[in-house]
Structure 1
Amino acid sequence: MLQEATFKQDLLEWFDANQREMPWRETSNPYYIWLSEVMLQQTQVNTVRDYYRRFIERFPTIEDLSEAREDEVLKLWEGLGYYSRARNFHQAVKEVHHTYQGTVPRNPEDFKALKGVGPYTQAAVMSIAFDYPLPTVDGNVFRVWSRLNNDTRDTKLQSTRKAFEQELQPYVESEAGQFNQAMMELGALVCTPKSPLCLFCPVQEHCSAFHAGTVLDLPVKTKKVKKKTKKLDVFIIVNEQGEILVEQRQERLLNGMWEFPMYETQQSHELQTWLGEGYAWDAQHLMQLKHQFTHLTWDMSVYVLQQPVNQNQLELPDNMTWMSVDSKETFNFPVSMTKIFKKYLSQYDNR
């Protein structure tokens, strides 16, 4: 086992000298720290920086965010992905505003009860903002702790997470926020997945996997389930005024965001039926695009209908509308649809 005192001292001294500058490390505001942790889930630090700054400029207080419309919140989140994070955070902030008078609760159980707050977010925010003794266990910590102890337990199992949390508990009885951030930083900068910098590691002497030569075998993770691929046809449909048809998603994935009409390939004929027999169908292929989600890949064939639609003869359902090219920024588009829109403009926009 690790020598607790010297290991922690070596780690914190390294972190103090080598930690990256990040805007959320320059504040003690628990709302800002909470926001950063939500944004950083499954997203790279360099991507988050600008989103974080724009978000707190627009919503500097919990009250500001609690009073915002969801579509405005999603617009600022556009491009970060995993939009349920934004919705949950927005709902949780509303609850903080109304139930806790706009102050992030210091009690870990009260905080965990908020929408979208799981064990990791609870531990990260409570330890960093309030120095509450809770260990954070994310992908970086799983990797670092497995290697330090030459531990072959499956890190995909909830039982392993619980065990790691118990084993890390003594290290967070003091300086919890600093220790948790140091562990995550070590995993991000030194104890990396494929090419760890073992020779420069500040806690090399404490690392059982380094001495056993098993660093690259750890952590142990069960194989990921193969992603499902869904073949889709996307259509750019323009009316006689030059406006583009868009629809708001009603499905759980990307719910509430806007897209161009999209059908599973075997169901694309439904669009022709909807447009009617009098419509001169002429679809020109624009592009192929693949978009990756956690457990799903969209394989999209994108087409532009060459014949403008008479908007007065087409009755739109409630979740569809015509969008002028100049008003695109008022709609919340997922990344895939934004790419399609840019490609369309590059070939068809004659303004």
Structure 2
Amino acid sequence: MVKTAIIEAHGGPEQFKIVDLEVGEPGPGQIRIRHHAVGLNFIDCYQRSGLYPMELPQALGMEAAGVVEAVGEGVMHLSVGDRAAYACTPPGAYTEARVMPAAQVCPLPDEISFEEGAAMMLKGLTTHYLFRRTTPIAKGDTVLFHAAAGGVGLIACQWARSEGIRLIATAGSAEKCALAVENGAEVCINYRTEDWVAKVRELTGGKGVDVVMDSVGADTFEGSLDCLKPLGFMISFGNASGPVPPFELAKLAQKGSLKITRPTLFAHIADHATCQQMAAELFEKVTSGAIKIRIDQRFALEDVAEAHRTLEARKTTGQTVLTL
């Protein structure tokens, strides 16, 4: 029996219950993994609230790291005793151990701790597809990145710095702005005290940026479009302030033949070989020292409701993990 955080109804953090569940043996293509740490992500809040509805009851969590305890038939890339980490569907990481599909579980290098592994997979692989798989971004290009002091943001700042990409950041306090700059942003705009659209235009000589990476959603969407240069690319990859409302497609033509996409990590890592290659490239960034995984918040599994409250209140910086 393993302790597991589940929800039986969509709603606020108060919906979490800690229960004991039985863990079975892995079937073909599956493994059983004993978690040492679990990552916390905004997608967990979307699933809990019902913004991304799911069948209930359900354990939440998309990301964790631990040790492989058992391997099902056909699994070739993992063995019993291997250190491993993942960010993938289906949800169910808020638990001490689980049986799950093996294809997107990745061998974790010894140089990376379990907490780092749990904190980096979803956010790091997200950063990977933003910079390498969504639209061509070359050395010297300019990217606007919102929420730059958050989990994805701090990795993105370091990723951009490591590849010579100019990153203009936004964040909600002077302290968060300083953190973004410390991690590689050229400049960080406090959106609570400055007209960030006007500032971006100023910083780019009125031209606008090549790419916007926006996980905030409703609050920043229109302004983000106004920050793009003609033919610029908008990547809307999250809804921290709520989903983007419907808009007229003709706006993209009016603002300079802009391009837009709404990607998800899970489409990018659906193929086993692609997922493993992306993870290997991410791990190389970390083991080389180009990216450091900053874990600023730790909560016990039993305190998962408080962890969600803290995340939704935007009181976090860097990464957040649940400890086991």
The TM-score, its normalising length taken from structure 1, stands at 0.21
The TM-score, its normalising length taken from structure 2, stands at 0.22
**Rg: which structure is higher?**
1
Q: Kindly indicate which of the two structures has a greater share of residues assigned to strand.
A: 2
